[in-house]
Amino acid sequence: MTAILHNIDDANRVNPNNLGTGWHLSNTNLALKGPFGGHVFEPLTAIAYVRPADKLQRAKTYCIVGPFGHNHNSGESAIKHSHNSKTDVVINPQDLGDLLAGKAVVNGVGKIVDFYFEDVDKITGWELTVNAKHNWFDPRTEEIKEFIMTYQFGLFTPMSFYWPQIAVGARMLLHGYVIRKDIVSGRFIVKLYLAITSVHPQFNYIISTNQCIYGIYGIEEGYNAKQGGHWEPLTGVDRCGDM
């Protein structure tokens, strides 16, 4: 993840008995878009293996790059970084939320847990939503943990030719903006931004889903969406127009 985060307090050493370089934790806020407009702040723990002089300081804002993890059960989220993957940022505190909401970028390989298509309107046609599982290593417990994020493809939904190749268990390279957190599932929602690739769990080839990255995907009448993991026969012709 790449995100601009406002740090609330000075980072604390995980093991106070250690001296020199070690793991430090600090409380930051991830700015997201609110469900009814505006912005909301989501607590995000920053974890860094740094010297005491390089730890995050209270009331400062940083651009941080590092692995992101989310505990679905506790609701806790964390980002790991180092001295070289953080940069000080100067922002007017009064404008902080509105400027940063929905600007955090996340990218990584995820395993499809489930997915569905929605017929949004006649202009954009079908839009794909994918729930993908990720894992990350938590240095505090020395465990590999799993979590799920929701990816909304929108206009970057692949053409229907590739739909049968999207399957539960397939691995996808995902890149987009973290826009909000679902109040029901507790999952972070990502708006797709760049090219996606996927490897089908049963076939040895790569699927590119940005065939019309600068166009609008639409489906003629006669197509049936994939629902609940089952495909129905498809008929019709794809169309792809300029934006």
Domains annotated on the chain, with CATH? 2-100 (2.40.50), 105-198 (2.40.50.140)
pLDDT > 70 fraction of the chain, expressed in percent and rounded: 75
30 CB contacts (<8 Å, ≥6 apart)?
Answer: 3, 5, 41, 42, 43, 44, 77, 104, 178
Q: What is the pLDDT of residue 21?
A: 86
pLDDT at 226 (0 to 100): 37
In terms of Cβ atoms closer than 10 Å to its own Cβ (0-12, 13-18, 19+), residue 204 is exposed
Contacts of 35 (CB under 8 A, 6+ apart): 180, 183
Q: Which residues of the chain have pLDDT under 70?
A: 90-95, 99, 123-124, 194-243
Phi then psi dihedrals of residue 161, to 5 deg: -55, -30
pLDDT at position 135 is 92
Q: How many whole angstroms separate alpha carbon 89 and alpha carbon 63? A: 7
pLDDT of residue 190: 93
What's the pLDDT score for residue 192?
Answer: 85
Sign of the C-alpha dihedral computed for residues 97, 101, 105 and 111 taken in this order:
positive
pTM for the model stands at: 0.62
What is the reported pLDDT for 167? 85
